[in-house]
Structure 1
Amino acid sequence: MGLTSSAVVEAPRPEVFAWFQRPGAIVRLTPPWMPVRIKREATDLADGTAVLGFPLGLDWVARHSGAVAPAQFVDELDSAPLRWLVHWRHTHDFEEVPPNRTRVIDRIDSNVPAVMLRSMLAYRHRQLADDLAARDRAIEAGMRPLTVAMTGSHGTIGTALAALLTTNGHRVIRLVRGQAEGPDERRWDVETPDANLLQGVDAVIHLAGASIAGRFTPEHRKAVRDSRIGPTRQLARLAAETTDGPQVFVSASAIGYYGPDRGDEPLTEGSSRGDGFLASLVEDWEQATEPAAAAGLRVVNVRTGLAQTPAGGVLQLQYPLFAAGLGGPLGDGQQWQAWIGIDDLADIYHRCLYDADLSGPINAAAPEPVRNDEYSATLARVLHRPALLRVPALGPRLILGKEGTDELALASQRVLPRRLTDLGHTFRHPDLESALRHLLGRPVKAG
């Protein structure tokens, strides 16, 4: 059986085909709700191989062939035992649509039921169109190809961001704790980084740090602090001291800076620091970037809200519960949630690289924060499920303890991205429902 799906994107055919040829394309196009990990990307659309890891140790090996730039390429399933069960041939066609648009056509010949493929293809087309539109905005704002060193590149945010950067024509050098493999990795000794670690680099994106989630025991607090303060300061010092090194230093931060409960107060970058462990941590974390700022580098601290993706974080935990009809508000449901879609977050980090007007703290949160009960109702509506099972505060306290619950699960922060909105930043998904529909493959049906 076969399935054909198409969409028109606002870019010339050679540019669209070139986008597919760059590293990161398959990562950007893989729906985040699918239980798949990109283990290897194809380096050549004419004769390359991509490897996708599925549960139970199954590898989907996609062999590419038939590339005729900028018109077509093909990938076919070529791995046992899956090929004994699944037939798959995917032809990617690109047709010119005058004056400067492209019709992207996916023709799939497979025994996989078409109903299982439609949401995947719809996601791919939306994601491609959105990525190309974001690229055009970046070029118009002065983006040029950069060499970017990145820590935490294999985490949930880092994976999405690295792929966005490479498909935009940047080179990403991954700073890894283990043995470096290939020219685009460098070994990063956290305590005593090599003096040449950042040589030839235009910018640094620093994402690494131990997960904040957990019971706030002394051991957990120490692990969280030690993974952020010292490594950030060492990396900032190295960036400041490196000849022919970075001019931009972008470091992850968090909205925990504002404290766990500020009521209905709108929180912007000019708001004061709040109370609690996370507020103190974030203040020290941001101050650890000072050596780079003192040396004249442009430093940006990205205070991130609740990143939304079923591939990780809070939504990964909530998605199966709500899909089973077991979700609902947490506590009284009145706490504010400052959220941000994973692709909007990647766009913000990208903008930090090329926009000289961004420095210091910026709030990476969607412009429309919601209360927890509205979040729950929206997620349930997207999944066509009820949201009736209210979770009492006692539930998370059994896992996180009182302090962890207050600072994480029940935190109420009405954070607004004032710096970005003042600069006219375009959010792909400014409202929660459109973000969740895209990320979970549940778009509103036409008509």
Structure 2
Amino acid sequence: MSIECSAVVAAPRSEVFEWFARPGAFARLAPPWQPVSLLDEADSLADGRAVLGLPARLRWVAQHEAGEYDPPQRFVDRITTDGLASAPVAAVLSWRHTHEFEEVDPAHTRIVDRVRTWVPAAMLRPMFTYRYRQLEADLAAHARAADHGLGAITVAVTGASGLVGSALTAFLTSGGHTVIRLVRREPHEPGERRWDPADPAADLLDGVDAVIHLAGVPIAGRFTDEHKKAVAESRITPTRKLAELSARAGVAVFVSASAIGYYGYDRGDETLTEQASRGTGFLADVVADWEDAAAAAACATTRAVSVRTGIVQSPRGGTLRLLRPLFGAGLGGRIGSGRQWMSWIGIDDLVDIYHRTLWDVRLQGPINAVTPHPVRNTEYTDTLGRVMGRPTVLVVPKFGPAVLLGRSGARELATASQRVVPDRLGAAGHEFRDPDLDSALRHVLGRTAESAADG
């Protein structure tokens, strides 16, 4: 059996082929709904080898075929065996993937994927629909940045292994930028530097053009005194130290993660722009101090930005990772009355916002990283159920989240209501990949209309 899929993207063939050859390309194209993790990326499309992690500790080893490598027209990979963990997969699964690139005209390229396998085409078409959409949007984002004067730069990133960090670093490296991962352990891979959050080395940022600071203890969890202390301590002092070092090093921009928790846990139906007042509660206090710490980077040579992030939509982490199996089993439902506002952002739109902070000098201080269309919990529930094709008739009582998060944790996380809008991004003319919830969920869950039609 075999399958053939194709799409035309608005970029020259040489540029498209180069994108595929860079680190991070595979990660950008891997569908987030599949239970696959990238363990080792191929270092060459000519004869490199990629290793993928599968459930039950199995491995998929993809070997590129040197004899079929013909840049910028074609490269080929096939499944092979390398160790016991990969033997069962290679024994039962046939797979040979030919990637071809045809020049439509100097500004457009047709990508043709031919896969020889017994895996049904209906299972593969959603993957290719996702891949083509990711590729086209990523290339467009990089082209837009280049039009505004952003060349290849070196970006230091903390929290690079997290949900946002892994997506962002793959986006940056596949776009031709150099990423230096700041890690707290001893470095053991190229491109890593040891970072002491309490006392960063004076030369930590040597040769760095921009810093993106994402590290911090996850906010989600039971709001015990110990947890709240860890959340605050992992953010405020480390952010201030790194911001001050960024200013001394003269990096062009220091970008820190932040959160819409700044606005408090319940602002009713008030529309919250970046000019809205600070709210009340633990998260509001922490975020205010966190942003004050990030502002220490601001000086004549360094622009400081705090990215107030909403509820990130990705099945690889966060809220959607928790909800997906529940909704898939038909156990999804609204929380309480369902009238609380949810301000959300797709993972790739969040990546685009961080990318924009690197080149758009109009962005400084706090910016709301949410889509223009916040929804009530009831609408979110109905939309996710519709996308997954499952009923959403159950109701989660308000006391339910308190069992897991504690009373204050449930109030500030699970039942929080914040109607936040991206006013500064709107003024800058920013365009979102998925401004509406239905399209965002369909993209990251592999349930687009194109996939359904092809299947």
Q: Same fold (TM over 0.5)?
A: yes
Which residue identity does 2:117 align to in structure 1? S
Please list, as runs of the form range in 1=range in 2, the aligned pairs for 1:207-226 lying within 5 A after superposition.
207-226=214-233
Which residue of structure 2 aligns with residue 21 of structure 1? Answer: 21
CA contact 2:13–2:106 (8 Å) conserved in 1: no
- Kindly indicate whether residue 373 of structure 2 is the aligned counterpart of residue 371 of structure 1: no
- Kindly indicate whether residue 291 of structure 2 is the aligned counterpart of residue 289 of structure 1: no
Which residue of structure 1 aligns with residue 84 of structure 2? Answer: none
Offset from partner CA, 1:233-283 (integer Å, 9 cap, x none) = 1111211222xx412100000000000000111000000000000000000
Which of the numbers 222, 246, 249 marks the counterpart of 2:251?
246
Offset from partner CA, 1:18-44 (integer Å, 9 cap, x none) = 110111000000000111111111111
Q: Could you say what secondary structure the match of 2:330 adopts?
A: coil
So what's the TM-score if we normalise by structure 2? 0.96
Deviation at 1:402, TM superposition (A): 1.2
Deviation at 1:98, TM superposition (A): 2.0
Which residue identity does 1:236 align to in structure 2? A
Q: Could you say what secondary structure the match of 2:298 adopts?
A: helix
The runs of 4+ residues in structure 1 deviating greater than 4 Å are: none
For 1:113 and 1:198, the matched residues in 2 are separated by 49
Which residue of structure 1 aligns with residue 58 of structure 2? Answer: 58
Deviation at 1:408, TM superposition (A): 0.2
**Structure 2 runs not aligned, ≥5 long:** 82-86
Deviation at 1:296, TM superposition (A): 4.1
Which residue of structure 1 aligns with residue 423 of structure 2? Answer: 418
Which of the numbers 79, 84, 108 marks the counterpart of 1:101?
108
Which residue of structure 2 aligns with residue 195 of structure 1? Answer: 202
Deviation at 1:182, TM superposition (A): 3.6
Deviation at 1:314, TM superposition (A): 0.2
Deviation at 1:298, TM superposition (A): 0.1
Which residue of structure 2 aligns with residue 175 of structure 1? Answer: 182
Deviation at 1:154, TM superposition (A): 0.4
Which of the numbers 82, 86, 90 marks the counterpart of 2:93?
86
Q: Could you say what secondary structure the match of 2:182 adopts?
A: strand
CA contact 2:251–2:301 (8 Å) conserved in 1: no
Offset from partner CA, 1:280-325 (integer Å, 9 cap, x none) = 0000001112321146410000000001000000000011111111
Deviation at 1:376, TM superposition (A): 0.5
Q: Percent identity?
A: 60
Offset from partner CA, 1:351-376 (integer Å, 9 cap, x none) = 00111111000000001110000001
Offset from partner CA, 1:133-190 (integer Å, 9 cap, x none) = 2222222222211100000000000000001111111100000111212431101112
Offset from partner CA, 1:366-412 (integer Å, 9 cap, x none) = 01110000001011111111111111111101111111111000000
Further displaced range: 212-221 or 337-346? 212-221
Which residue identity does 2:130 align to in structure 1? Y
CA contact 2:295–2:365 (8 Å) conserved in 1: no
For 1:329 and 1:139, the matched residues in 2 are separated by 43
Further displaced range: 411-420 or 141-150? 141-150
Deviation at 1:115, TM superposition (A): 2.1
RMSD: 1.2
Which of the numbers 338, 346, 350 marks the counterpart of 2:343?
338
Q: Could you say what secondary structure the match of 1:163 adopts?
A: helix
**Structure 1 runs not aligned, ≥5 long:** none
Which residue of structure 2 aligns with residue 237 of structure 1? Answer: 244
For 1:386 and 1:81, the matched residues in 2 are separated by 37
Please list, as runs of the form range in 1=range in 2, the aligned pairs for 1:21-420 lying within 5 A after superposition.
21-65=21-65, 66-79=68-81, 80-242=87-249, 245-294=250-299, 296-420=301-425
For 1:51 and 1:174, the matched residues in 2 are separated by 21
Which residue identity does 2:194 align to in structure 1? R
Which residue identity does 2:264 align to in structure 1? G
Which residue identity does 2:213 align to in structure 1? H
Deviation at 1:121, TM superposition (A): 1.3
For 1:53 and 1:404, the matched residues in 2 are separated by 34
Q: Could you say what secondary structure the match of 1:103 adopts?
A: strand
Deviation at 1:58, TM superposition (A): 1.1
Which residue identity does 2:426 align to in structure 1? T
Q: Could you say what secondary structure the match of 1:190 adopts?
A: coil
How many correspondences in the alignment? Answer: 445
For 1:300 and 1:88, the matched residues in 2 are separated by 45
So what's the TM-score if we normalise by structure 1? 0.98
Which residue identity does 2:73 align to in structure 1? A
CA contact 2:64–2:76 (8 Å) conserved in 1: yes
For 1:60 and 1:439, the matched residues in 2 are separated by 22
Which residue identity does 2:252 align to in structure 1? Q
For 1:290 and 1:333, the matched residues in 2 are separated by 36
For 1:389 and 1:104, the matched residues in 2 are separated by 44
Which residue identity does 2:28 align to in structure 1? R
For 2:212 and 2:264, the matched residues in 1 are separated by 25
Which residue identity does 1:128 align to in structure 2? L
